[in-house]
Chains A and B, each alone.
Chain A
Amino acid sequence: MPEEQVDKQVVHASHLNLFYGNNQALFNINLSFEKNHVTALIGPSGCGKSTFLRCLNRMNDLIEGVKIEGNIKIHNEDIYHPQTDIVQLRKNVGMVFQRPNPFPMTIYDNIAYGPRIHGLKDHKKLDEIVESSLQKAALWNEVKDRLHTPAKGLSGGQQQRLVIGRVLAVEPEIILMDEPTSALDPISTASVEELLQELKKSYTVIIVTHNMQQAARSSDFTAFFLNGEVVEYGKTSRLFTTPKEKRTEDYITGRFG
């Protein structure tokens, strides 16, 4: 598979099975993610995209009765190893959720939350982190005069960029996004998509999206999920033009889903 061989792969999932109680939600997933690229996970609702994404920062640990087989390696370290430091893992693998979920605090405190949690108290340093994170999230110019006002006062798109900034403030390497624009209007969506292109220069981004145009526009690689399996994985440009699998073609041409 020469076309898939690009720079460097940082995340490897192999033979991954996941069960919610007795219900298997993921079947033998084998996927690797390229450093400094955007990978899109597409597929109809309920096919396991979120479930897979939440394996990568072990958010599924919070759900009772979840059982996981196989392994996920980040930089060759098994993140499900009993000795894994989950705090460290989650600092390294940030997550942006479907609905913008700023904390009920000021804009400043939202960004400073992560660094503070991890023990940073120095005001100067916090100020710097807040500014640089908001810069990276392309929000600084819009909010620099009201850092100490409630985050709830921002528009949906601004809130989602704030949340991205909040993730960037803990200096992750990988950013997971679960349908980050599905609750946003087209203009806000465009602002987040634009940001993605900026982010991939410094981060590895894995984004679940319901929106095929978004995957086609914003991602470098795409994995197509169906019923808990990965049907096809490849360069986005190739997968959307010449899918190898019939089921992929049916999905991207809108025949189901």
Chain B
Amino acid sequence: MAKHETPLLDELEKGPWPSFVTDIKRQAEKSPQCWDILGQLELSFKERITHWKHGGIVGVFGYGGGIVGRYSDVPKRFPGVEHFHTIRLAQPASKYYSTKHLRDICGLWEKYGSGMTNMHGSTGDIIMLGCRTEALEPFFYELTHNFQQDLGGSGSNLRTPANCLGQSRCEWACYDTEEACHHLTMHYQDEIHRPAFPYKFKFKFSGCPNDCVAAIARSDVAVIGTWRDNIRIDQAAVKEYIAGNIPSNGGAHAGRDWGKFDIQKEVIDLCPTECMWMEGGELKIDDSECTRCMHCLNVMPRALRPGADQGATICCGAKAPILDGAQFATLIVPFMKVSADNEFEELIEFIEKVWDWWMEVGKNRERVGETMQRIGLPTFIKVMDLEPIPQHVKEPRSNPYVFWSEDEVEGGWSRDVDEFRARHAA
């Protein structure tokens, strides 16, 4: 039986879609503190202001992350949400669980918290919503000792790394995203659990440019699978697609009749770099122009595969709009071998170079993408010991400006200009 009148929230149950209000009401039958979430939210809707306070010294001993403090500023009216802390649990690589493990985790959360979860949060972690300060340590003890699971990242820490399911299920994966994600998670335990940086830092791993974990939009270091050689073409399968014997897009659009497959219209004309054509009944690709957009591979997976010389592209500096606007990551390294054979040495060296620079020059609460923007890409490229390449420039053909440094110019900045002008009028 509802504890508070919630006429405004009840409106949100009327549509045909699932409603969080219905979900919370259902959970409140088991965990009565959930009624107070609804009560406080109704008050916020009415008054158009939040009644949550954040922050504080909540945490478990030795950890400086994984728990986000939340308190009500109207605890007398809503005692069930006086403390309502969020706990982040690190998800396993690719989010593979047994159903038993998920049931166990949910059971544990009903024992110590509200039972409400967010599976998974945009960070990647499992989000456990709502518990009191005194429940944190016993919950953490059981989580780690009985279920071998750990807290995720929060605050100015390395956040829980995330990856696409990669080679475990996907034929497009150009490196082992699970191994990379797991290895770096173990390697950087200290950075995940204890604050290390001016602000949050994320890396995410996608096996190919389809970028199923949206690494390019969400991570400070995005590791996105790619290939250096040519797209592998099976010309016999191309003919089968043209003849309509293999459904395009793996049959994904089979729910409606789109007419006969037209390779010109559906593939060649949609290639963003216009680098494909038919010649003598065969599909041709000028691979030097291909930007790995994945469109043609997605449409004809049985005819086209990524090349065999595989690795990853590294992009830096994505972030959501907190201070300035949102921004995508910028290409920094077009191709890097990413391999467990050398324990991801090259990638680790890259990441630590970024950290050393950002920790030194980054301002408090500044993401590395903002630091890059403030100081400029030329400096960042230099700090990373890389040579500038046309791909670092947004429009290299219309923006040819080069900034020379003194040691690159004959005579430096102090050469005798009058002497030069005497020979060569301005």
- The yes or no verdict on A and B being binding partners is no
